[in-house]
Amino acid sequence: MGMKKIILIVDDEPANIEIMVEALKKDGYELLVAANGREALELAGRRLKPDLILLDVMMPGMDGFEVCRRLKEDPTVQDIPVIFVTALTDAAREARGLKLGAVDYICKPCSLEIMAARVRTQLELREHQTDLERLVAERTAELKDLNKRLMAEVEARKLAEMGLAEGEQRLREVLDNLPGVGVYRMDEHGSVLWMNQELIRMLGYESKAMEEFEPGLLELPPDFGLDLADTVGLSPRGGDEQAQDVRIRCGDGCYRVFACTNVSRRVGIPGWINWGVAVDVTGLKEVEEELRKAHGLLEQRVAERTRELSQTNEMLQREVGERRKVERALQREKEFIDSVLATSHDGIAVVTPSGETPFVSPGMERLFGYTASELNGLDSWIKLLTPEGASSHEVKKMVFDALNVSGPMERTFRFRHGSGEMRYCSLHVSRMQNGHLVVNGHDVTEIRAAQERIRYMALHDPLTGLPNRQLFADRIEHAFRLAKRNNSMLGLLYVDLDRFKAMNDTHGHAFGDAVLCEAGRLLSANSRESDTVARIGGDEFVLLLQDLESSDQALLVAKRVVEGLNQPGGAGSVYLLGASVGVAIHPRDGESPQTLLQAADRAMYQAKGMGGNCYWPLS
């Protein structure tokens, strides 16, 4: 069983830490927790380092970006994958995190299952990458050693070829005058017919005797030819080769030993000619005794060397076995990666600098709803990712930027799926060492839809669907900036439903909710498209009126609101309600959103003090 994976969680909010711990502990990880950047750096630098770091961005003192930068500058921890988990959703911060070396960027709130799945994916990728890097390093070393041996063999072969060429030229000279090799010719009776100059020299005669050599005139050692004939055993057997050591007395009276080799050739009827080669081996014979003495020691050394070679052979056999295991492991790893690519929800593709797509994974085909052949070539990608009526500049710029920079790039695109449905995808583009681009695609349609729903719920009243206090605050701030820039007038109506609490207590909350929805509908119907209607409390509403030409316009809207709640079929006539409306005008009643809202609130209470079901001021 393998060691537990260690995950370091860095967040200054205990609630966030508790949520992430709860989501990850079921996978059996060993979880470390740091409340700030300094603690995170200390835990990451310990001897047993974490396998992955979940890092918040907004932290007091040292933020997550600075922690990531320091981690990536430290050679001892720079390979630990970092995933940012943050509520900051803008693309600039996400791009900054990825540029610093993070492998992923998760925006909160997010699905805990998705976060756990991304953590598992990154841990598996890191484990596979580590194994592959180790196997590649071993294979690279083997290939370098093999290349070195091949280069040495090639060099030796070149030298041999050069020597052969030179030898062909020298052979012609050697045939005329072979140094150290005597050549002779005899008849079948042992009479010497011819010998070369070197043999005459070896026998102890002057070199010019060769030039004057005639059979019978040159005084050879007594019975030279007969000694050869008797010792070698010449016989008329055409083509037979006979070799023997012959002891001959030379011209200086000393005996020397020659190694003679004869070949018989028939030269007609009745005789045979014997060609022979003689080499002075006297010196060799003198060392034979030394060789015999060394033979025993050599045999001992050969035995030792044989044992060493046997051990080396066993080691090589084991190494070959291990190498085969590695090759099988590599094959299994390839099959595993192929299986992962085939079943992965995400898509992967490779794009060459010339715009070709030599590889498109099945996940990429499912992502876009097109086959690999339909996704072939950069032009088809640009056409696919460019919405109708839009420019392809952004898609082209992303591709060419990725070709010219070393770091990864990521963009989200809206595209038309092969089924005709409009969807969103996130493309992560990084550059390989060979200049090709790796494109990783992920379908973010559901994520974007969930984000939009969350954003809408955060800014709207769940009962009436109107903007809530937070969205109203943003709208009034924006309206004030426009009014000051355009020197225009704003109107604010503060609406409070009369006798709502008594009605709600009498008829129940469901009845009260229906009244609030009807009141919200009426207020929206009496406002312009550019105005904002918001519910900011239980039975309190506000209307923000922009670009007023006079304060009378705001009073007319207030009058319509009061009358609308009492008209036949309206909320007031059905539910016996009225409304107290306070009116405030910028810049007359307030120079800021807060003071204007306070003025409208005071006016509303003034209307309620007059018995309700009216607005204030009246003019």
- Report, as residue numbers or ranges, the catalytic residues: 539
The DSSP-derived string for 299-340 is HHHHHHHHHHHHHHHHHHHHHHHHHHHHHHHHHHHHHHHHHH
DSSP-derived letter for residue 463 is T
Taking alpha carbons only, the member of 107, 8, 16, 10 closest to residue 55 is 10
**Cis? peptide before 221, omega within 30° of 0:** no
The position carrying tokens 């598992």 is 120
User: Which residues make Cβ contacts (< 8 Å) with residue 273, sequence separation at least 6?
Assistant: 185, 186, 187, 188, 193, 264, 265, 266, 267
Contact indicator for 533, 543 with CB cutoff of 8 Å: yes
Question: Which residues of 35-113 form beta strands (DSSP E)?
Answer: 52-55, 82-86, 104-107
Q: How wide is the angle at C-alpha 103 spanned by C-alphas 97 and 108, nearest 5°?
A: 65
Distance CA 92, CA 100 (A): 12
- Using the CB atoms, write b or e for 365-400: b if 16+ within 10 Å: bbbbbbeeeebbebebbbebbbeeeeeeeebbebbe
How many residues are listed for the chain in this entry?
Answer: 619
Distance CA 433, CA 350 (A): 13
